[in-house]
């Protein structure tokens, strides 16, 4: 690690699904991980064995590579039938929290030596976790380190709330600007 990052800054990267928000934060992580201590997670698509169909989403710890299910197709008969549903997917809150809550606890611990936090994403599925929402609310209003989050373009409640927080820079990612945004944040 070379140097500390600049003061607290919150970047909220938003945009239509498929515009490259997750790819952008992954590139930011890859560009900064050798210089800074970074904690966070990304949400990755899970495809069937032939890679033709999306069957769900996993949440992946950036530091350890540990992963857990965030959501699976409703037709996938595995597990709990009392899980919340978003579109065609059952959202697995216990598995999501298994990865994300320890990361958020580390970030909210003001004595940790973290330089940056990356959260991908704050969206409809993730908001079914009350603990996630409360931890994120606390982190976004009190933490002293820079934070980069992806957030749904549209949404009520917590999604619209965080876009109004003090110190937030809301950036809409498009296919045309995503590489420039990555470079701007890395610099």
**174-185 pLDDT per residue, tens:** 988 988 888 888
Q: Looking at residue 1, what is its pLDDT?
A: 47
Residue 112, pLDDT > 90, answer no
pTM across the whole model: 0.90
CA atoms within 13 A on the CB side of 125: 25
Token pair for 2 = 């070379």
Percent of the residues in the chain that have a pLDDT greater than 70, as a whole number: 91
pLDDT digits over 4-24, tens only?
Answer: 555 668 999 999 988 999 999
Token pair for 124 = 């409809």
* Mean pLDDT score, 113-140: 95
Residue of 75 and 128 predicted with greater confidence: 128
Q: Looking at residue 11, what is its pLDDT?
A: 94
Mark residue 79 as left, alpha or beta (left: phi above 0; alpha: psi -120 to 50; beta: remaining): left
**Where residue 111 falls among pLDDT bands split at 50, 70, 90?**
low
Residue 128, pLDDT > 60, answer yes
Measure the CA–CA gap between 63 and 40, rounded to whole angstroms.
7
Q: Could you give the strand order of the β-sheet that contains 89-91, starting from the edge strand earlier in sequence?
A: 85-86, 89-91, 67-73, 54-61, 38-47, 116-122, 147-151, 10-14, 168-172
């Amino acid at each position: 690690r070379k140097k500390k990052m600049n003061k607290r800054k919150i970047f909220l990267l938003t945009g239509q699904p498929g515009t490259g928000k997750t790819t952008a934060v992954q590139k930011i992580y890859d560009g900064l991980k050798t210089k800074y201590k970074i904690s966070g997670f990304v949400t990755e698509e899970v495809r069937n064995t032939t890679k033709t169909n999306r069957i769900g989403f996993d949440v992946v710890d950036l530091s350890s590579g540990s992963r857990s299910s965030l959501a699976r197709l409703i037709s996938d008969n595995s597990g709990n039938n009392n899980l919340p549903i978003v579109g065609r997917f059952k959202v697995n809150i216990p598995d999501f929290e298994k990865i994300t809550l320890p990361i958020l606890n580390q970030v909210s611990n003001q004595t940790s030596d973290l330089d940056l936090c990356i959260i991908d994403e704050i969206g409809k599925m993730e908001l079914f976790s009350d603990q996630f929402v409360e931890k994120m609310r606390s982190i976004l209003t009190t933490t002293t380190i820079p934070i980069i989050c992806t957030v749904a373009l549209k949404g009520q409640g917590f999604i619209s709330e965080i876009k109004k927080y003090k110190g937030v820079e809301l950036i809409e990612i498009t296919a045309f600007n995503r590489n420039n945004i990555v470079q701007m944040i890395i610099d």
